[in-house]
Amino acid sequence: MSPTRPQPRGGGREAEQAAGSDIGEVLIEPDELQARVRELAAEISRDYEDGDLLLIGVLKGAVMFLADLMRHMTVPCELDFIAVSSYGSATDSSGVVRILKDLESSIEDRDVLIVEDIIDSGLTLSYMVRNLRARSPRTLEVCALLTKPERRRVDIPIRYTGFEIPNRFVIGYGLDHEQRYRNLEYVAVLAGDAEPQPGGPPR
């Protein structure tokens, strides 16, 4: 077999942007994402040195973040997934949540860390925290790659946050627009997502 030359990686910026796409301004570059994910993994590893850590990834958006985060963890940890859907419009969640795929493991007496892609209104997360707390974990904390503080409607403590971003609809690094763009290596604004006006309607 003859050696093959390395091919350009999928999800490259040029390919995506050339596709004449919805990709707007890049908010977080790949190296910034990776550096922050490493920092978070180091912080979490310190905090759970003596723990029994179970990471719960919220499908599908958290998949990229979770995979990178877990790779840099230096303490033993296990992995499970949950999938939820929020009733409501495409861009506004209602807080009424349905579990589409439940955990495989029991979380009783375990140290549970919910890993989310983005906290927007916080309604989905708040439901999830209530639901999981009823299963008696030893500890229950949240790690979110992104948060939009301006949009928050419920107050839930987020123990680990990657980046605070402005009130824009973002895609990439797991986040989708109509299921696409999750494979981008960076986080960008969805093109055409206008900056909200001060005093404008909530989004």
Q: Catalytic positions, please?
A: 120
- 172 sits near ligand IMP (criterion: CB under 6 A): no
Cβ–Cβ under 8 Å, residues 54 and 111: yes
Identify what 144 binds: ligand IMP, Mg ion, none; CB under 5 to 8 Å per kind. none
- 186 sits near ligand IMP (criterion: CB under 6 A): no
Please report the sign of the dihedral spanned by the C-alpha atoms of residue 55, residue 57, residue 186, residue 149. negative
Token duo for residue 201: 């309607």
**What is the total count of residues that contact ligand IMP (CB under 6 A)?**
16
Among 51, 57, 61, 162, binds ligand IMP (CB under 6 A): 61
Give the long-range contacts of residues 147-153, CB within 8 A, separation 24 or more.
Answer: 147/118, 147/119, 148/118, 148/119, 148/120, 151/120, 151/121, 151/202, 151/203, 152/119, 152/121, 152/122, 153/95, 153/121, 153/122, 153/123
Identify what 33 binds: Mg ion, ligand IMP, none; CB under 5 to 8 Å per kind. none
Residue nearest to Mg ion (CB): 61
Closest CB 75 distance from ligand IMP, rounded Å: 26
- Residues in CB range of 194: below 8 A, 6 or more apart: none
Among 64, 118, 129, 142, binds ligand IMP (CB under 6 A): 118
Closest C-alpha among 6, 128, 120 to residue 57: 128
- 117 sits near ligand IMP (criterion: CB under 6 A): yes
Among positions 106-125, residues that touch Mg ion (CB under 5 A) are 117
Cβ–Cβ under 8 Å, residues 100 and 85: yes
Closest CB 120 distance from ligand IMP, rounded Å: 3
Among 21, 34, 86, 161, binds ligand IMP (CB under 6 A): 86
Identify what 86 binds: Mg ion, ligand IMP, none; CB under 5 to 8 Å per kind. ligand IMP
Q: Position of tokens 């928050």?
A: 152
The Cα 138–Cα 133 span in angstroms is: 9
- 175 sits near ligand IMP (criterion: CB under 6 A): yes
Query: By the criterion CB under 5 A, which residues form the site for Mg ion?
Result: 61, 117
Query: By the criterion CB under 6 A, which residues form the site for ligand IMP?
Result: 61, 86, 93, 116-125, 169-170, 175
